[in-house]
Amino acid sequence: MSEAAKHFDVVVIGGGAAGLMCALTAGDRGRRVLVLDHANRVGKKILMSGGGRCNFTNMYCEPENFISANPHFVKSALSRYSQWDFIALVDKHGIPYHEKKLGQLFCDHSSKDIVRMLLDECAAAGVAVRTDTPVTDVETGTPHRLQAGAEAIACESLVIATGGYSIPRMGATGFGLDLARSLGLPVQPTRPALVPFTLSGRPLEELEGLSGVALDTVTTAGGMGFRENLLFTHRGLSGPAVLQASSYWEEGQAVAIDLFPGIDLAAHLRELREQRPKLELKSVLGEQLTRRVAQRWCELWVENRALEHLSNADIEQVVAACQPWTVWPAGTEGYRTAEVTLGGVDTAALSSKTMECRTIPGLYFIGEVVDVTGHLGGHNFQWAWASGHAAGEYA
């Protein structure tokens, strides 16, 4: 590497949510900061998030909304830069937003507002941002040295904010994880999360024609259940309940889907059998499941008939097909569509206060590259902001 390296106080590799927040925070402290991104623009995932409206945080964000081998790790950063701090920044820039549901805050207009806000803050803090710049040859030390395109760069603090594997076509790479491994740092096993399930063979055939139907469910995998909508797709199951459950699912496990959340279906059917004996099973199920799904459930599991002709054993059979409906996914749609990567740089290697690596001074890991994965609903961005801010205060 060239001796005439250009020197910065802080270099942030990755201009996504975490990297830009870290850069503007360090810049505000008067640090000379450079952000490097190999993509042709920064914040691509912010732009595509929330259907183009970026669910930028969640009003009810708590440590319980995160998955990590060490569930306590997130507490320090989240408490020092909370959802209210980010909301204050959004307010300062006059960006209009609304709560969609469950505390999820979305831009009224466009995700572009959030990227513009971060870049304006970076500019005000004197941060240099370079796109189309692949980084190679990272050497940690005092200073750290790296090759950015044709340029040799040296820096006191090096921040890795390159995210996870999800959506490679948006510029996702395993750069940060590979770097961590090459430096001997522990990495928790990774897999796609917040991702649709795929079905194959008979289970998929049984659902043919239901694609596009959404149902209110409690969907449970790996012991965690989520009350949200499930969506039938051409290839399997999606929707917020399924995406949430996917983060807790491991290959080969079953997923339990309560199609009548909050209702004792057996008692409900017995009661209706007394009160309205001529009512058809299909109609009763259809109130909750939609007509199409109710019809299919009757074809598959319990023949449609008037409730007066349903025995208690029949009722048990209906309940067995609905409460829960048990599904064995063939797999997931993988990193191609996963919103996040589960696992990552082991938090045991990092300070929860500063995000600095315990064994390599001046090296920081933030955002999704770290073994912290949020629930759906703005929590992943809140982790990016909070961890980025934590590192930006010390880098």
State yes or no: residue 173 binds ligand FDA (CB under 6 A): yes
Q: Which lies closer to ligand FDA via its Cβ, residue 135 or residue 269? A: 135
Q: How far is the CB of 310 from ligand FDA (least distance, A)?
A: 44
Using the rule CB under 6 A, which residue among 8, 27, 45, 265 binds ligand FDA? 45
Using the rule CB under 6 A, which residue among 25, 26, 55, 293 binds ligand FDA? 55
Q: How far is the CB of 47 from ligand FDA (least distance, A)?
A: 10
Using the rule CB under 6 A, which residue among 13, 95, 159, 265 binds ligand FDA? 13
Q: How far is the CB of 116 from ligand FDA (least distance, A)?
A: 16
State yes or no: residue 368 binds ligand FDA (CB under 6 A): yes
Please give the structure tokens belonging to residue 35.
């952000």
Distance CA 214, CA 351 (A): 42
Q: How far is the CB of 236 from ligand FDA (least distance, A)?
A: 18
State yes or no: residue 166 binds ligand FDA (CB under 6 A): yes
Q: How far is the CB of 186 from ligand FDA (least distance, A)?
A: 19
| SS3 labels along the chain | CCCCCEEEEEEEECCCHHHHHHHHHHHHCCCCEEEECCCCCCCHHHHHHHHHCCEEEECCCCHHHEECCCCCCHHHHHHHCCHHHHHHHHHHCCCCEEECCCCEEEECCCCHHHHHHHHHHHHHCCCEEECCCCEEEEECCCCEEEEECCEEEEEEEEEECCCCCCCHHHCCCCHHHHHHHHCCCCEEEEEEECCCEECCCHHHHHCCCCCCCEEEEEEEECCEEEEEEEEECCCEEECHHHHHHHCCCCCCCCEEEECCCCCCHHHHHHHHHHHCCCCEHHHHHHHHHHHHHHHHHHHHCCCCCEHHHCCHHHHHHHHHHHCCEEECCCEECHHHCCCEEEEEECHHHECCCCCEECCCCCEEECHHHECCEECCCCHHHHHHHHHHHHHHCCC
State yes or no: residue 67 binds ligand FDA (CB under 6 A): no
State yes or no: residue 49 binds ligand FDA (CB under 6 A): yes
State yes or no: residue 339 binds ligand FDA (CB under 6 A): yes
- For ligand FDA (CB under 6 A), the number of binding residues is 39
Using the rule CB under 6 A, which residue among 155, 161, 289, 321 binds ligand FDA? 161
State yes or no: residue 171 binds ligand FDA (CB under 6 A): yes
State yes or no: residue 134 binds ligand FDA (CB under 6 A): yes
State yes or no: residue 14 binds ligand FDA (CB under 6 A): yes
Which residue stretch of 44-52, 89-97, 249-257, 313-321 sits at the interface with ligand FDA (rule: CB under 6 A)? 44-52
Using the rule CB under 6 A, which residue among 236, 378, 386, 394 binds ligand FDA? 378
State yes or no: residue 191 binds ligand FDA (CB under 6 A): no
**Footprint of ligand FDA (CB under 6 A):** 13-19, 36-39, 42, 44-45, 48-50, 54-55, 134-135, 161-163, 166-167, 171-173, 175, 339-340, 367-368, 378-381, 384
